[in-house]
Chain A
Amino acid sequence: MKLENKVAIVTGAGRGIGAAIARIFAQNGASVACVSRTLENAKKTADEIQAMGRKAIPYAVDVSSAAESEATIQKIFTDFERVDVLVNNAGVTRDGLLARMSESDWDTVLDTNLKGAFLWTKPVARAMVKQRSGCIVNISSVVGLVGNGGQSNYAASKAGLIGFTKSVAREFASRGVTCNAIAPGFIVSDMTDSLPDAIKQKVVQAIPLGAFGKPEDIAEAALFLASPAGHYVTGQVLAVDGGMTM
């Protein structure tokens, strides 16, 4: 058991990559705080984990809200007493060409994807510093590395997460707290299901390994970073993308 007796928070745990991360953490012995915008989705993942005989509690919260996040984090510390792993995975898209992008579509994406990571990392990192151990994993994107037409807001948020990751890694390394980013490529999820078929085909042609990835591919990478095997890795961006960004 790679995460025996560890407590993990996973945001965006209701579906897709976040749900896969929450599941694999639980399979490896962790208790998991499942955070999602809707209680229904959070509960779905938490129920699955409880069925494995592990502790899991669902929390419904908008991670871009400072007040909601603060209250929920406090509740998580009361419910679980400590936190060893934080996965900032919650993310949204509001795709569109920059020339037509509204301010609110920009703000929504930056507030959830980037500010959300700040709001959750700050209090959790303080507790990790105190316990002299901890692991933070930010789910970025290949789009944050290479850009993508129609996703300037999303790309900016995901590139921002990379700078954030490296800075946090430097600030807390002396206290035994690591911080890394994973940059998933195109992964089968509700987010990529909404892409038109023509675009999907074009995307697949650009992936050297010739297929979309699975949420479990990202979950395995997160498990590595969070487990003792990953303890010497910090400030890195691990691209799990079928070779897209080599």
Chain B
Amino acid sequence: MAEKSLEEKVKDIIVDQLGVNAEQVTNEAKFIEDLGADSLDTVELVMAFEEEFGVEVPDEDAEKLQTVGTVIEYLKDKTEK
């Protein structure tokens, strides 16, 4: 089986964490407005991303990650370094 792409892993985590349907998790979807996350959910999501990808996300970066797409771009950038 092929290794899952970063994008797929990110979306899996979001589906799992927020209990939403995979179809809702588009790149444009906003965590709070579109996916019904509360502020603690967003903290938990960042914790889950940090764990999955072995990166550290400073609070000032975390605040900017408001859509699924920005998270994917951010993590791609972080993990390529």
Q: Which A residues are closer than 8 A to B by beta carbons?
A: 126, 129-130, 171-172, 174-175
A126-B43 Cα distance, complex, nearest whole Å: 9
Name B9-68 residues within 8 Å CB distance of A: 38, 40, 43-44, 47
A138-B67 Cα distance, complex, nearest whole Å: 37
Contact of B47 among A130, A174, A175 (CB under 8 A): A130
Chain A min CB distance to B54 (Å): 16
User: Which chain B residues lie closer than 8 Å to A172 at the CB level?
Assistant: 40
Query: Count of A-B contacts with CB under 8 A?
Result: 12
Chain A min CB distance to B11 (Å): 20
A174-B44 Cα distance, complex, nearest whole Å: 13
Instruction: Place the interface of chain B in its size category.
Output: under 10
User: Which chain A residues lie closer than 8 Å to B38 at the CB level?
Assistant: 174
Q: Which B residues are closer than 8 A to A by beta carbons?
A: 38, 40, 43-44, 47
User: Which chain B residues lie closer than 8 Å to A175 at the CB level?
Assistant: 40
User: Which chain B residues lie closer than 8 Å to A171 at the CB level?
Assistant: 40
User: Which chain A residues lie closer than 8 Å to B44 at the CB level?
Assistant: 129-130
Enumerate 11 A-B pairs (CB-CB under 8 Å) in ascending A order. A126-B43, A126-B47, A129-B40, A129-B43, A129-B44, A130-B44, A130-B47, A172-B40, A174-B38, A174-B40, A175-B40
User: Which chain B residues lie closer than 8 Å to A174 at the CB level?
Assistant: 38, 40
Chain A min CB distance to B42 (Å): 12
Chain B min CB distance to A243 (Å): 38
Chain B min CB distance to A176 (Å): 12
Closest 3 CB pairs of A and B: A129-B44, A126-B47, A171-B40
User: Which chain A residues lie closer than 8 Å to B43 at the CB level?
Assistant: 126, 129
User: Which chain B residues lie closer than 8 Å to A130 at the CB level?
Assistant: 44, 47
Chain B min CB distance to A169 (Å): 13
CB closest residue in chain A, given B39: A171
A174-B43 Cα distance, complex, nearest whole Å: 14
Chain A min CB distance to B49 (Å): 13
Chain B min CB distance to A131 (Å): 12
A174-B36 Cα distance, complex, nearest whole Å: 14
A175-B39 Cα distance, complex, nearest whole Å: 12
Chain B min CB distance to A198 (Å): 51
CB closest residue in chain A, given B38: A174
CB closest residue in chain B, given A171: B40
Chain B min CB distance to A40 (Å): 36
A175-B44 Cα distance, complex, nearest whole Å: 11
A175-B38 Cα distance, complex, nearest whole Å: 12
Chain B min CB distance to A57 (Å): 25
User: Which chain A residues lie closer than 8 Å to B47 at the CB level?
Assistant: 126, 130
A129-B41 Cα distance, complex, nearest whole Å: 10
Chain B min CB distance to A45 (Å): 32
Chain B min CB distance to A128 (Å): 12
